[in-house]
Amino acid sequence: MIAEVIVDVPAATVDRPFDYLIPDMWQDLVVPGMRVEVPFGPRALLGVVIGTKESTELERIKPIIRLLDEEPTFTHELIELSGFLADTTLCYRATALLAMLPAALKVSYDKEVDAPQHAQWDRKRISQFPPETQKRILELAKNGALRLKPVVKEKKTAKRDKIVRLRDASIPLAANATKQHELRDFVRERTEVLWSEVLRTFDVTASVLTTLEKKGIVEVEEVEIGRDPYAHLTQDVFVPASLTSGQQQAVDAITADEQASTFLLHGVTGSGKTEVYLESIHSVLERGRQAILLVPEISLTPMMVKRFKKRFGERVAVMHSGLSLGEKYDEWRKIAEGAVDVVVGARSAIFAPLTDIGLIILDEEHETTYKQEENPRYQTRDVAAWRAAYHGAPVVLGSATPLLETYARAMKGVYRYLPLKERFGGELPPVDIVDMRKELASGNRTPFSRPLIEAIKQRIDKGEQTVLLLNRRGYTTFVLCRDCGETLQCPHCAVNLTYHQHGDRLKCHYCGFEAAMPKTCPNCSSKKIRQFGTGTQKIEEELAHLIPEARIIRMDQDTTSRKGAHETLLDRFERGEGNILLGTQMIAKGLDFPNVTLVGVLAADATLGIPDFRASERTFQLITQVSGRAGRGQLAGQSIVQTYNPEHYVIQTAKRHDFEAFYKREMQLRKLGGHPPFWFLALITLSSESPLEAESEGRLIAGELGVLEDESVVVNGPFPAPLARLKNQYRYQVIVKHKGQRDVHDALKRVLADRIKQKVQVAVDVNPFVFM
Ligand code: ADP
Ligand code: ZN
Ligand code: ZN
């Protein structure tokens, strides 16, 4: 038998299945979807079997080296999906397949030493040795004194435990071996017990266990067990809400769907979209099917998880970036084994290996995190639609501020429209606009307007809470020399370094470069080099100065970098340990604290100026979403938005909660500007250490694509990317605007396939979402 294998080499020339011989002993074992280790040139690589057949046209084929799975890792559906991804996002099949795996099932490549004459190294993996030894071994290998054999190494780190079972309690033990007696008696009582439980119960070492095992009193079996990162969450009893008529209509429409429709659930903040999700999923489970609920990474707060665990208990897997490699793998395995019916997770959970999907939901569908910005550059919505069609299931896109594209489709009837126009049990908070130009003119030089400070003080007096959003773009601190005007830039990227008070250090938020804050200007040696701009910590200090009685909890990159810090800070706020939660974008969504009655937005317009045609839309979303955190409980809320552009239509429509007016205005501007959803875009990014090479390659590509130009295809560029230099690479871009023709897609595919020039990297994004 022959296996058709996609090999883990992301390159155009090998982007196809290769034939490998299945050795006799594995004839019946190898099935499509399994990961295997295969020889490829001089290397051994990971491969995925996508088919088997009886014969091949090839004369000489190599055998598979090793099976990495006992059961297929990829279902038939996911193998097919990888083909769809490769075709629509223009990525390699291998890249598409690997993107679906939890990191633990991806592999790294290592070399095994083959040198019987060096017993201390022989048959060991080179990566285990200290760098000095590795160097030595490599030298010897180069001289031919020993051999290195490439191997595939799994990252899998399943948590292991031991089952201890009683075999024969009558075998005698020394009278003074108290620990042995203790352990034997414990096991006898239970007949079977987990070693981890023994360790939790009493003080005993592994050597005691080994002794009992050797004597034949117990037997020990090693097992892989699942970790439950949410085990500490209390499992309250769930009481189902009685739905409002709007919620019930939405649930009815979704659960009655038989056409695999896409729904837009357009519900204002606090309208109870989550209740609609819970009920719809419940009904899907009743029918014996499964569901995926996707949320933006940022709203995967313990609060949200708790709500789901409470409703669906053990049958939920939760997947997000805060989990360790092993925890992620455990969740994935539970899904693959069919132990789970509901998957809640961020973007990549769309690839969860469920086999009978009855519903897929994308909460906050407008979020940028639903677009993957590296290969495969997919929009989660498209993958959801594909999987839903495969299973005959509906897709629900939920948001208070849907993307213009989504809303336009709903208005055209392509999507089914489900509005929830009212808040559950309350009103949307009034949004008051404060003109910061007037504040400045009347002598207020602080970042806080007087109405905002007054309002915060009132809340503190009444024992209510305030959420303050610092629009991240307005709050970074860079370093400037007062004498020569030099700003400190990242040596690898065309961006200013950000000053972090914690540790007195400078960091690049794009490449991770870090340095100590210099004492003098590197350009003119002046001592007048200092941080400039307003950081979140500075804002906190000013606020503490203006309102000395405030207890402030600050959430930003610095205070949330530790694992679990996010959770701890929110818990403290929920318990009322702070009366102000001050933070960047990470506090804008998902929070549902009934005691928050005031929201303040500082520098609301900082995002209006970003060089992206979606700048207005993102600002409208931000103001609406964060204002939506106020007044969600019994108490009425208020939102205060500070701006230098009070007349701007984004600010005005957000003030009136008027999505429709915003939509109409913005659609006109998009039409005039020739932007989506009226046109499709494709973005080609060229990066190289040499700016000249990048630009000339861009010119070449623009020329090739230029032959397609007519009234429905426009090619622009090359021009320097908004982020003109990143990680030492100069970046140029070419933008193609078109009306969705297949020949444009084919031409872009050729652009990628033809590039073999090593010096310039070419990336094509057929649906660019964030420009950088
Ligand atoms: P959204 O996701 O639309 O912002 P949520 O689903 O978080 O709104 O609902 C807002 C608040 O109203 C939550 O505290 C939720 O428990 C409550 N709520 C919504 N619908 C109901 C209902 N039918 N019965 C009781 N409480 C509800
Ligand atoms: Zn200087
Ligand atoms: Zn950098």
DSSP code string of 304-335: HHHHHHHHHGGGEEEE-TTS-HHHHHHHHHHH
Cβ atoms within 10 A of the Cβ of 644, count? Answer: 16
Ligand nearest to the CA of 497: 3
Ligand nearest to the CA of 525: 2
Say which CATH superfamily domain 2-150 falls into. Answer: PriA, 3(prime) DNA-binding domain (3.40.1440.60)
Q: Decide if 579 contacts 551 (C-beta within 8 A).
A: yes
Q: Is 243 in the pocket of ligand 1 (CB under 6 A)?
A: yes
Domains 245-420 and 431-477+533-668 share a fold: yes
Query: Which residue owns the Cα nearest ligand 1 atom 9?
Result: 272
What does residue 732 show for φ and ψ, rounded to 5 degrees? -120, 155
Q: How far apart are the C-alpha atoms of 33 and 412, rounded to whole Å?
A: 40
Q: Is 270 in the pocket of ligand 1 (CB under 6 A)?
A: yes
Q: Decide if 605 contacts 643 (C-beta within 8 A).
A: yes
Candidate of 243, 275, 624 to mutate for ligand 1, largest count of ligand atoms within 8 Å of Cβ: 275
Query: Which residue owns the Cα nearest ligand 1 atom 24?
Result: 241
Cα(521) to centroid(ligand 3), Å: 19
Tokens of 583: 């933070």
Q: Decide if 654 contacts 615 (C-beta within 8 A).
A: no
Q: Is 624 in the pocket of ligand 1 (CB under 6 A)?
A: no
All structural domains of the chain with their residue ranges? 2-150, 159-225, 245-420, 431-477+533-668, 680-766
Q: Say which residues have a Cβ less than 8 Å from residue 320's Cβ, sequence separation at least 6.
A: 297, 300, 345, 346
- Stated pTM of the model: 0.84
* DSSP secondary structure string for all residues of 607-648: GGGSSSTTHHHHHHHHHHHHHTTSS-SSS--EEEEEES-TTS
Identify the DSSP state of 770.
S
- Average pLDDT, 10 consecutive residues per value, the chain (772 residues): 92 89 91 94 91 89 90 94 96 94 78 85 83 86 82 65 88 90 89 83 86 92 66 55 92 93 95 94 95 83 76 86 79 91 94 97 94 94 97 97 96 97 89 93 92 96 94 76 86 85 82 89 90 82 94 86 79 92 80 90 82 90 90 89 92 95 96 92 94 94 93 93 92 94 90 75 90 82
Candidate of 247, 273, 424, 599 to mutate for ligand 1, largest count of ligand atoms within 8 Å of Cβ: 424
Q: Decide if 316 contacts 86 (C-beta within 8 A).
A: no
Candidate of 265, 271, 274 to mutate for ligand 1, largest count of ligand atoms within 8 Å of Cβ: 274
Residue carrying structure tokens 């969600």: 632
Write down the pLDDT at residue 157.
58
Q: What is the dihedral of CA 135, 138, 142, 144, to 10 degrees?
A: 120
Sign of the CA dihedral with 573 first, then 574, 576, and 577 last: negative
Q: Is 401 in the pocket of ligand 1 (CB under 6 A)?
A: no
Q: Is 277 in the pocket of ligand 1 (CB under 6 A)?
A: no
Ligand nearest to the CA of 506: 3
Q: Is 592 in the pocket of ligand 1 (CB under 6 A)?
A: yes
Q: Is 271 in the pocket of ligand 1 (CB under 6 A)?
A: yes
Q: What class has domain 245-420?
A: alpha beta
Cα(500) to centroid(ligand 3), Å: 15
Q: How far apart are the C-alpha atoms of 315 and 399, rounded to whole Å?
A: 26
Residue 657 sits at the vertex; the CA angle it makes with 655 and 662, to the nearest 5 degrees, is: 90
Ligand nearest to the CA of 521: 2
Q: Which atom of ligand 1 is nearest to the CA of 242?
A: 23
Exposure letters 36-64 (e unless 16+ CB within 10 A, then b) = bbbbbeeebbbbbbbebeeeeeeeeeeeb
Cα(284) to centroid(ligand 1), Å: 20
Q: Is 272 in the pocket of ligand 1 (CB under 6 A)?
A: yes
CATH fold of 159-225, please? Arc Repressor Mutant, subunit A (1.10.10)
656's torsion region: left (phi>0), alpha (psi -120 to 50) or beta? alpha
Cα(613) to centroid(ligand 3), Å: 25
Q: Is 267 in the pocket of ligand 1 (CB under 6 A)?
A: yes
Q: Say which residues have a Cβ less than 8 Å from residue 500's Cβ, sequence separation at least 6.
A: 506, 507, 558
Q: Decide if 403 contacts 380 (C-beta within 8 A).
A: no
Chain centroid, CA 98 distance in Å = 16
Q: Decide if 85 contacts 91 (C-beta within 8 A).
A: yes
Q: Is 241 in the pocket of ligand 1 (CB under 6 A)?
A: yes
Residue 310 sits at the vertex; the CA angle it makes with 306 and 315, to the nearest 5 degrees, is: 105
Give counts: helices (H), strands (E), the chain. 21, 32
Query: Which residue owns the Cα nearest ligand 1 atom 19?
Result: 272
- Architecture of the domain spanning 431-477+533-668: 3-Layer(aba) Sandwich (3.40)
Tokens of 553: 């909890």
Ligand nearest to the CA of 242: 1
Q: Decide if 426 contacts 597 (C-beta within 8 A).
A: no
Q: Is 687 in the pocket of ligand 1 (CB under 6 A)?
A: no
Query: Which residue owns the Cα nearest ligand 1 atom 14?
Result: 592
Q: Which atom of ligand 1 is nearest to the CA of 628?
A: 4
Paired sense of beta strands 107-114 and 147-154, if any: antiparallel
Candidate of 239, 427, 592 to mutate for ligand 1, largest count of ligand atoms within 8 Å of Cβ: 592
Cα(237) to centroid(ligand 1), Å: 17
Q: Which atom of ligand 1 is nearest to the CA of 420?
A: 3
Query: Which residue owns the Cα nearest ligand 1 atom 18?
Result: 272
Residue 630's identity, in one-letter code, is A
What does residue 200 show for φ and ψ, rounded to 5 degrees? -75, -30
Ligand nearest to the CA of 364: 1
Determine what percent of the chain falls in helix, strand and coil, rounding each to the nearest 5.
Answer: 35, 25, 40
Ligand nearest to the CA of 399: 1
Q: Decide if 435 contacts 568 (C-beta within 8 A).
A: no
Cα(398) to centroid(ligand 1), Å: 14
Cis peptide before 518 (omega within 30 of 0): no
Q: Which atom of ligand 1 is nearest to the CA of 247?
A: 23
Residue carrying structure tokens 């009226």: 678
Cβ atoms within 10 A of the Cβ of 228, count? Answer: 15
Q: Which atom of ligand 1 is nearest to the CA of 244?
A: 23
Q: Is 246 in the pocket of ligand 1 (CB under 6 A)?
A: no
Tokens of 232: 């500490």
Write down the pLDDT at residue 31.
94
What does residue 232 show for φ and ψ, rounded to 5 degrees? -75, -10
Ligand nearest to the CA of 480: 2
Cα(522) to centroid(ligand 2), Å: 7
Q: How far apart are the C-alpha atoms of 649 and 657, rounded to whole Å?
A: 12
Say which CATH superfamily domain 680-766 falls into. Answer: Ribosomal protein S10 (3.30.70.600)
Cα(476) to centroid(ligand 1), Å: 35
Query: Which residue owns the Cα nearest ligand 1 atom 20?
Result: 272
Q: What is the dihedral of CA 734, 736, 737, 740, to 10 degrees?
A: -150
> What are the angstrom distances between the C-alpha of 498 and each of 470, 487, 555, 602?
16, 11, 17, 20
Q: Is 275 in the pocket of ligand 1 (CB under 6 A)?
A: yes
- Nearest of 618, 623, 620, 579 to residue 601 by alpha carbon: 623
